[in-house]
Structure 1
Amino acid sequence: MRSWTDSLRFVFQPVVNLATGGIVALEILARPEAGDVLAEARRDAELDGTLAVSAVRAAVRKETTLPLHVNVFAGTLADLGGLTPLHDAVRGAGRLPWEVTVDVGPPYTHVPQHALLEAVGALREQGFRISADGVGDGDVPLRLLTDLGPDLVKLDASLLARSAAVKSMRTLCEELGTLLAVEGVETEGQCAAAHRAGAQLAQGNLFAPPARVPVTDVYVPPAAFGAEGPTRSGPSVREFVRPAALLPDSASAGQVRALLTGSPDVSGVLLVDRDGVPVRSVHRSRFLLSMSGRYGHALYADRPAAKLGDAPRTVGIDATAWEVLDVVADGGRARTSDDVAVVDAYGRCVGVARLADLVRALSETRVEEAAGLNPLTRLPGSDAITGEVDRRIAGGWTFALSWLDVDHFKQVNDGAGFAAGDELIRSVGRLLQRTASGSTRVGHIGGDDFLVLADLEGLDPLAASVLDAPWSAGGLPVTVSLATVVCGPGSVVDHREAAACLAPLKKAAKALSGASWVLGRAGAPGHEVRRGAEPASGRAECAAG
């Protein structure tokens, strides 16, 4: 009698890194040729667990060295706990648990959340990584998602039409230290939208459809690399992690040679201990050169590969690309082409970062930043500030958005000359930049207009420094006006609404004499005058009235 396994096949779909265009993992998908095994697995935890084990074994038969994504229903984890058979299957196949991500999928309705969280904790203890699958098109509660604290969130591509939702999820992922992936990407437009929204990973038929044989190359639209991403002071190394070629630290030189000659794209091998912590790093070219020398194979083939390796260079998963470059620079010129091992909080290897990927991305970032800088002050323009305003709104932050300008600037230019006017603007920009601290952002939006985005704690010191400064141009005294709107969670929907709230405050500040500061709150009537006085004519009119 034929069993359900006789009609079951597995296919592989690549997970693509949008920053590098490389394949970072393979998701294994069950494809029954008869019957509806997946529907049964949703109701039968034992069957679903067996499918996960079968998926790992199917990948082993294809001899792929890429990390794997294995699907499991949330209810299965709650019923079975830590999926010990999956751990045994991974170890028995010669793979390591941290090379496997468990994609936890819906439905979540009626799943005991405490039992699910305990099971996820058990998987983590075994070394597995966790992905929350089907987010946005499933029923995962937001509180449960944050409690899970997954390593990866997979967002359904249908949400790309709702950019605010995707950006909000990106903000949540940043807070959780989680990567964001978009699955089901079918068009180049969706790919570009995923990149703009800040997703680091994606998968879908655009890159490569599911196939019985794992692909080694994917199509990534060139526009994806040029798409405008989120404004960040320095990209995270998470965005550039490539799969690592791992072998146990007891591996022989012959085993390393077999892996390298069978995988021409692998630039090096990391030797790890039983816990997945890198112990030695074997560089492809240096290793093969040693092996190819006279008597090299005879001398080294059966000896530990560790003897031909170097001390690994490692960075934490939360490091920035600039910190990785520092590690590369400290390693000496002979090792600039070595991969840098990226490790988690337990020191376990989660992948490698390559110098070429980092340099390209940092160069593009600097070019984009330079193009957006004001040529007079070298401060970013309005796009950088408004983008950060939208990010803080999506994150539910309280912040203060301020507009600053020089009073009667046209008269300053006419009386002191444009060169003195330019120097005054540069001086204002330098002081704002010097005073800004923490999360404060300063932008020069043209002429004598500046935007300042700050937390409430940093607002008073910055205002005092700029309002108390003895400004002058060509020997003529000058004053400045400051208008601030405080935006609490839910008070504005985007930067346009925040700017609309700021406009009347700006008018009120300009109506005051001397250095002035007016502060209001989004959604609340009226404003508070913190600096400045009513002009004499205004006071006389009020008295007469």
Structure 2
Amino acid sequence: MLAPADQVRFAFEPLYSLYSGSAVAVEAVGHPAAGWVQDLLDAAGDQAQLIDADLDLAARAAAAAPQVAAGVSLHLNLSASAAGAPAERFIPLLQTLERAGRRPADVVLEVTAPLAVPNPGTLLQGLHRLRDLGFRLAFDRLGAAGLPMNLLAEAPIEMIKLDRATLRRLPANAATVALVEALVQFATQTDLRLVATGIENDAELDVARRAGIRLVQGNLFATAAPERVLPTAERGDQPGTTAVSPAAGLRIPEFLRQAKTLPDDATCDDVHAILSAEHAPKAIVGLDQQARPQWTIDRMRFLLAVTGRYGHALYAGKPAAKLAGPPRLVRIDTGTRELLEIIADGGAEHSGDDLVVTDASGRYQGVVRPNEVMRRMAAVKVEAAVALNPLTRLPGSDAIAHDVARRADAGRPFVVAWLDIDQFKRLNDTAGFAAGDDLIRAIGRALTDHARRLGDVTVGHVGGDDFLVVCGVEDITSLADAVLGHGWSADGVSVTLSLASLVQTGASAGSYRESARLLAPLKKQAKEIPGSSWVNSWPGAGRAQILRGGKETNGRAPMLLSRQ
């Protein structure tokens, strides 16, 4: 007997970028108690019941989805029949998204086989309705979904996912090689994003790379995915350490410029009058009556067309849209990671074209120049690399200060912690500097390995044997147990560690400088406790709590120390 829809459980499978080495999306994959999701849909009966069942599964998946980082979209699967349904059938899904704090613009609906049902025209109309509702769209299982060519050319989609069977015919099947090369070229010229699905091993991943596909998905990335997909130049030299992200802290409003705009029904003469003048703009954006971008015209390409042989005769008085291209759109709240993906997907011909920025309703806000973004990213990357500690390849105090400020602005409680090695100078004198360096690297690896498993944790090495950690209140105990509970030694010499932590309470949280000032006496108290120790306090508390070491090791309640 087939499982009812309310017994379907959802896993969330990431899509990784081979460009940035990061997850850019998660797809909800349904798992019934028995059988397959398609079995449930097949059992739904008539067309109306099938659509209800499909949309119900999509809403359940949206409700079950975890919160994801900014710039990471949620993908929901949808049959072509449901995609062609009237807009009112999507009200329950929209309500579910609203309760979950998600906008339709944060969701990609993956429309899947068979794509010719109910019929291509009905589906195309439905896709435009879904786009008007704010959803982003993709075609799933290209190569096995019966996709008519006119849909591929006309549908308002932003992504195509290759069926896994197509990838597995590479590189031996010459016809498939030619087909995939054509799809990569098509995706580049139309600003679509091509995804290789079902990647099971490193050989298949290498095939996708060599085919020019930038996005990948599959069981290979269930664990340790960033290490598999991150470009070699981005990886730290030390195992277990994390590369500093050059995207941290950068947002589209920092790069926003205003472009010249015209009504979308402007003529080539209108455009020529602007672009042929002295100090002419680089491009023009055509807007409809609701201020939504409809086209863009590049100055150089336009002038080449209209000033060439017969150019004026061909285009005089004609709509400017004839020499325009579709705008390369990006939402103003797009994260830097996704912004880099959009820039990279433009290809060589359009790599310098402005990106047209819109708000959540699709209204024009300005443009972003890719070269300015890339210059800024390069500068931040160089700055971050200079700030890395050469011994552990961990960031220093600037990264910690930035994260403290970020968390304080968010208004939620967090912890700043200071860890160092007891009697480190004596250890160097006994075991030698090389052994001391090895120990520091090992502790750095342990901190970052555990931080990576926890998620939103920043680890810094601020010099010598001192490490700083910023994390959520719920994470500090796990991290402390993992590091303090380890039997550390250097060249046969036993080593203990001291940890001081300060719980910052949201809106009243102090700055990095204030945190460092309050942590200094706490660390001194921790180092006075025999063995590996942990002392915790709160700003203004006037006392410290021993959470590890001293009497705590005998199973009694933690001891409180007054702080003068």
TM-score by length of 2: 0.50
Residue 503 of structure 2 aligns to a residue whose secondary structure is strand
Q: Residues 513 and 534 of structure 1 are in contact (CA less than 8 Å); yes or no, is this contact kept in structure 2?
A: no
Structure 2 residue runs without a partner (length 5+): 1-245, 554-564
Q: Residues 246 and 271 of structure 1 are in contact (CA less than 8 Å); yes or no, is this contact kept in structure 2?
A: yes
Match of 2:544 among 527, 537, 542: 527
C-alpha separation in 1, matches of 2:260 and 2:543: 63
Identify the residue that residue 100 of structure 1 maps to in structure 2: none
Matched, 1:363 2:378: yes
- Percent of paired sites with the same residue: 47
Identify the residue that residue 254 of structure 1 maps to in structure 2: 269
Identify the residue that residue 269 of structure 1 maps to in structure 2: 284
1:482 Cα deviation after fit: 0.8
Matched, 1:239 2:254: yes
C-alpha separation in 1, matches of 2:369 and 2:489: 51
Residue 378 of structure 2 aligns to a residue whose secondary structure is helix
Identify the residue that residue 308 of structure 2 maps to in structure 1: 293
C-alpha separation in 1, matches of 2:344 and 2:394: 29
C-alpha separation in 2, matches of 1:371 and 1:470: 33
C-alpha separation in 2, matches of 1:234 and 1:263: 37
Alignment of 1:76-475 (within 5 A): 233-262=248-277, 264-390=279-405, 392-393=407-408, 396-436=411-451, 437-475=454-492
Identify the residue that residue 511 of structure 1 maps to in structure 2: 528
1:389 Cα deviation after fit: 3.1
Identify the residue that residue 148 of structure 2 maps to in structure 1: none
Match of 2:498 among 463, 481, 505: 481
Q: Residues 396 and 489 of structure 1 are in contact (CA less than 8 Å); yes or no, is this contact kept in structure 2?
A: yes
Residue 359 of structure 1 aligns to a residue whose secondary structure is helix
C-alpha separation in 1, matches of 2:396 and 2:428: 22
Paired letter, 2:332: I
Q: Using a 3 Å threshold, how does the CA distance of structure 1 residues 263 and 470 change in structure 2: closer, same or farther?
A: farther
Q: Using a 3 Å threshold, how does the CA distance of structure 1 residues 258 and 383 change in structure 2: closer, same or farther?
A: same
C-alpha separation in 1, matches of 2:262 and 2:281: 13
Residue 450 of structure 1 aligns to a residue whose secondary structure is strand
1:490 Cα deviation after fit: 7.0
C-alpha separation in 2, matches of 1:294 and 1:269: 23
Paired letter, 2:526: A
C-alpha separation in 1, matches of 2:487 and 2:476: 20
C-alpha separation in 2, matches of 1:261 and 1:243: 19
Q: Residues 400 and 456 of structure 1 are in contact (CA less than 8 Å); yes or no, is this contact kept in structure 2?
A: yes
Residue 374 of structure 1 aligns to a residue whose secondary structure is coil
C-alpha separation in 1, matches of 2:306 and 2:354: 20
C-alpha separation in 2, matches of 1:330 and 1:478: 51
Paired letter, 2:464: G
Number of aligned residues: 306
Q: Residues 511 and 534 of structure 1 are in contact (CA less than 8 Å); yes or no, is this contact kept in structure 2?
A: no
TM-score by length of 1: 0.52
Residue 532 of structure 2 aligns to a residue whose secondary structure is strand
1:428 Cα deviation after fit: 1.6
Structure 1 residue runs without a partner (length 5+): 1-230, 537-545
Residue 262 of structure 1 aligns to a residue whose secondary structure is coil
1:269 Cα deviation after fit: 1.3
Q: Using a 3 Å threshold, how does the CA distance of structure 1 residues 393 and 331 change in structure 2: closer, same or farther?
A: closer
1:244 Cα deviation after fit: 1.9
CA distances 1:39-95 after superposition (whole Å, capped 9, x unpaired): xxxxxxxxxxxxxxxxxxxxxxxxxxxxxxxxxxxxxxxxxxxxxxxxxxxxxxxxx
Q: Using a 3 Å threshold, how does the CA distance of structure 1 residues 302 and 362 change in structure 2: closer, same or farther?
A: same
Paired letter, 1:529: I
C-alpha separation in 1, matches of 2:364 and 2:343: 17
C-alpha separation in 1, matches of 2:552 and 2:368: 62
Paired letter, 1:479: T
Q: Residues 400 and 512 of structure 2 are in contact (CA less than 8 Å); yes or no, is this contact kept in structure 1?
A: no
Residue 363 of structure 1 aligns to a residue whose secondary structure is helix
CA distances 1:176-234 after superposition (whole Å, capped 9, x unpaired): xxxxxxxxxxxxxxxxxxxxxxxxxxxxxxxxxxxxxxxxxxxxxxxxxxxxxxx9714
C-alpha separation in 1, matches of 2:511 and 2:372: 33
Q: Residues 409 and 507 of structure 2 are in contact (CA less than 8 Å); yes or no, is this contact kept in structure 1?
A: no
Q: Residues 395 and 459 of structure 2 are in contact (CA less than 8 Å); yes or no, is this contact kept in structure 1?
A: yes
Q: Residues 234 and 320 of structure 1 are in contact (CA less than 8 Å); yes or no, is this contact kept in structure 2?
A: no
Matched, 1:502 2:519: yes
Paired letter, 1:532: G
Residue 527 of structure 1 aligns to a residue whose secondary structure is strand
1:252 Cα deviation after fit: 1.7
1:327 Cα deviation after fit: 1.0
1:367 Cα deviation after fit: 2.4
C-alpha separation in 2, matches of 1:507 and 1:453: 19
1:370 Cα deviation after fit: 2.4
Q: Residues 340 and 352 of structure 1 are in contact (CA less than 8 Å); yes or no, is this contact kept in structure 2?
A: yes
Q: Using a 3 Å threshold, how does the CA distance of structure 1 residues 265 and 482 change in structure 2: closer, same or farther?
A: farther
1:489 Cα deviation after fit: 5.0
